[in-house]
């Protein structure tokens, strides 16, 4: 093996140096222009003042690799596939494949972020526009809390041990049917009273009020006082009990039509039916008594 020695007093080579084999240095190599290598450049330590270009010719086999203490593929650039990898030599269809955990202050993406493992984050935030959002194609399991100032929508099921709506203990919260802001359940605590209202198409169908001021608590049907009927079905009679809002009437049985009517028998515990006043129907002494006629 032949050696070229550079004197300590004159260490500068002003021309070019071509080596057909290997070039080993125990010291440093300073180059004013370029280092051109046909195959591979390796170094225990390297200092580049301005830039380092690997595979400038764009060859398919010109990969770039940085080794760590125990990971030979700490950083890997696969020139043949135009892909990058960290911690692995296996690249995926994505531009970047990472085998390990990522810790980042911010992650901003205009496309998709996918992971075969778990993504941990203190916060998930969208861009905040009308069409922006955070979507998940698979199940999303959260062990903590979900806090949202806007809407939470899902094409599948949302299951949770507890769901809290409203910002404090004296507020109003709503659970809406998707894209229909007139059909919802409203829960509110106001002036010490607790109230749940169920609305369909903007009409209050059921209101449940727990009065905490001493007045009786109530369950109110048709709280808006509009033309809403209430019907209770039996096994073979679909109007076993019918409350007609427009007629202000209670009807018992599907054939009933007047204020309080029954298409069947009316039974009482003492055998008597009382009208307001003193008139009495006693089935033991009379076949029928007609009031008002």
Would you say residue 52 has pLDDT above 70? yes
In tens, the pLDDT along 190-226 reads 666 788 889 888 888 998 888 877 788 888 898 888 8
pLDDT of residue 81: 92
Q: How many CB atoms lie within 10 A of CB 57?
A: 7
pLDDT of residue 292: 43
pLDDT of residue 293: 40
- Helix, coil or strand: residue 260: strand
Rounded Cα distance, 250 and 259, in Å: 6
DSSP 80: T
In tens, the pLDDT along 75-129 reads 999 999 999 999 999 998 888 888 888 888 877 777 777 777 777 777 776 666 6
pLDDT of residue 236: 86
DSSP 203: E
Would you say residue 49 has pLDDT above 70? no
Buried/exposed 250-281: b ≥16 CB within 10 Å, e otherwise? bbbeeebeeeeeeeeeeeeeeeeeeeeeeeeb
Would you kindly state where each structural domain of the chain is located, as residue ranges?
A: 1-105
Choose between 145 and 234: higher pLDDT: 234
Rounded Cα distance, 258 and 239, in Å: 14
pLDDT of residue 130: 58
Closest CA to 65 of 49, 81, 38, 41: 41
pLDDT of residue 55: 80
Distance of CA 51 to the CA centre of its chain: 44
> Is 0.75 topped by the overall pTM?
no
pLDDT of residue 260: 65
Choose between 58 and 227: higher pLDDT: 227
Look up tokens 């008597």; give the residue.
272
In tens, the pLDDT along 17-30 reads 777 777 777 766 66
């Amino acid at each position: 093996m032949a050696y070229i020695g550079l004197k300590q007093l004159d260490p500068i080579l002003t021309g070019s140096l071509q080596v057909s084999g290997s070039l080993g240095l125990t010291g440093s190599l300073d180059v004013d222009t370029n280092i051109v290598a046909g195959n591979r450049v390796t170094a225990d330590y390297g200092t580049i003042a301005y830039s380092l270009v690997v595979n400038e010719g764009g060859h398919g086999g010109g990969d770039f690799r940085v080794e760590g203490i125990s990971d030979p593929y700490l950083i890997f650039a696969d020139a043949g596939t135009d892909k990058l990898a960290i911690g692995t030599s296996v690249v995926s269809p994505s531009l970047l494949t990472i085998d390990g955990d990522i810790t980042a202050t911010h992650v901003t993406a205009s496309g998709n972020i996918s992971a075969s493992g778990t993504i941990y984050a203190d916060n998930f935030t969208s861009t905040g526009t009308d069409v922006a959002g955070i979507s998940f194609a698979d199940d999303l399991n959260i062990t903590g809390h979900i806090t949202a100032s806007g809407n939470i929508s899902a094409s599948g099921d949302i299951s949770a041990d507890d769901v809290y709506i409203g910002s404090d203990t004296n507020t109003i919260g709503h659970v809406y049917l998707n894209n229909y802001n007139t059909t919802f359940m409203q829960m509110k605590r106001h002036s010490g009273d607790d109230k749940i209202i169920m609305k369909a198409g903007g009409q209050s169908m059921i209101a449940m009020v727990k009065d905490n001021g001493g007045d009786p608590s109530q369950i109110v049907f048709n709280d808006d006082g509009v033309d809403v009927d209430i019907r209770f079905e039996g096994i073979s009679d679909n109007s076993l009990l019918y409350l007609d809002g427009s007629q202000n009437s209670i009807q018992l049985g599907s054939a009933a039509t007047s204020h309080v009517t029954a298409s069947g028998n009316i039974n009482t515990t003492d055998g008597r039916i009382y009208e307001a006043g003193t008139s009495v129907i006693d089935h033991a002494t009379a076949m029928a008594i007609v009031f008002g006629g």
